């Protein structure tokens, strides 16, 4: 192979079948960032960026299933996002309700189990009811778990876990000496999920923004400069390919 061919091979995006021959992550987390900037760049209202972001999520869910990834966790609305302009927040609430309703039949048919992870207090009743309906209708599905981090903040999640542990100890259901990393994880929103192998963040930001802090202790990170609405199959495949080249030592040699 020539030097030029070797150089261009670095940018080749492998096919799904080629990727499946390697190490496929069991759990992928995604910080879907850049909707507003995507819209501003096009001189569009910010809300249209969120609408376009839904299409990107559809693409990612479909490819996640094809790759055989069993867990997908997306950061959809943080506990800090309530401070955004009222009109934007109201639009987002309506968008969540509409999407949960319209996408549910297909996700259910594909065997996707939907779970909301986040603090339920403070969520508008109509939105919470939509999440609960989606969870109830898909609770027996086993092909893939789709975690939607909504009204979510990892620090708050950890604080709530500590409070639950104190309560369990006080009620005699847990002994102090039984508290370790494994038992602590069982008090988190993600108690039924393995830790993420890979977390992807779009839009060129290099931070994790209070997302899966405990769970991501040994997670591989991939940062893309692409705004979330433009994140497509080739970008996702590139992230998985990059992950497969990592040497995950977990503190060992």
pLDDT digits (tens, 9 = 90+) for 127-186: 999 999 999 999 999 999 999 999 999 999 999 999 999 999 999 999 999 999 999 999
Q: Are 73 and 81 in contact (CB under 8 A)?
A: no
Burial class of residue 64 in the structure, from the number of CB atoms within 10 Å of its CB (0-12 exposed, 13-18 middle, 19+ buried): buried
Tally the C-alpha atoms within 13 A of residue 175's C-alpha that lie toward its C-beta.
Answer: 2
Supply 213's token pair: 């802090």
Q: Given this model, what pLDDT does residue 248 score?
A: 85
Q: Are strands 220-223 and 198-201 parallel, antiparallel or unpaired?
A: parallel
Over residues 41-66, the pLDDT tens digits come to 999 999 999 999 999 999 999 999 99
Do residues 237 and 14 touch, judged by C-beta distance below 8 A? yes
Write down the CATH superfamily of domain 23-140+198-211+224-243: Decaprenyl diphosphate synthase-like (3.40.1180.10)
- What is the mean predicted confidence (pLDDT) over 72-80? 97
Nearest to 157 by CA among 41, 65, 73, 44: 73
Give the CA diameter of the chain: 69
Q: Where in the chain are the domains?
A: 23-140+198-211+224-243, 153-188
Position 250 scores a pLDDT of: 79
CA proximity to 100, closest of 132, 55, 62, 140:
132
**Residue 7 pLDDT class (50, 70, 90 cuts):** very low
Distance set, CA 67 to CA 15, 22, 148, 218, 223 (Å): 10, 11, 19, 22, 20
Catalytic center residues: 33, 81
CB 226 within 8 A of CB 52: no
| 233: pLDDT strictly greater than 90 | yes
pLDDT in tens, 96-114: 999 999 999 999 999 999 9
pTM above 0.95, yes or no: no
| 11-29: average pLDDT | 89
Is the pLDDT at 213 greater than 60? The verdict is: yes
């Amino acid at each position: 192979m020539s030097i030029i061919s070797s150089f261009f091979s670095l940018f080749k995006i492998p096919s799904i079948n080629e990727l499946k021959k390697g190490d496929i992550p069991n759990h992928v987390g995604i910080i879907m960032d850049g909707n507003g900037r995507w819209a501003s760049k096009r001189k569009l209202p910010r809300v249209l960026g969120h609408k376009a972001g839904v299409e990107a999520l559809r693409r990612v869910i479909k490819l996640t299933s094809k790759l055989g990834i069993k867990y997908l966790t997306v950061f959809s609305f943080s506990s800090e996002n309530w401070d955004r302009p009222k009109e934007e927040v109201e639009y987002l609430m309506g968008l969540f309700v509409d999407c949960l309703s319209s996408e549910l039949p297909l996700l259910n048919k594909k065997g996707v189990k939907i779970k909301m992870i986040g603090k339920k207090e403070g969520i508008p009743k109509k939105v919470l009811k939509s999440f609960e309906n989606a969870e109830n209708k898909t609770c027996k599905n086993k092909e893939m778990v789709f975690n939607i981090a909504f009204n979510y903040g990892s620090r708050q999640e950890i604080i709530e876990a500590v409070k639950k542990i104190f309560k369990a100890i006080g009620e005699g259901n847990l002994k102090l000496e039984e508290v370790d990393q494994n038992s602590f994880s069982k008090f988190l929103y993600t108690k039924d999920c393995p830790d993420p192998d890979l977390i992807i963040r779009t839009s060129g930001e290099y931070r994790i923004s209070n997302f899966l802090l405990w769970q991501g202790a040994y997670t591989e990170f991939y940062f893309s400069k692409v705004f979330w609405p433009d994140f497509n199959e080739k970008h996702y495949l590139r992230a998985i390919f990059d992950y497969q080249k990592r040497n995950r030592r977990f503190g060992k040699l």
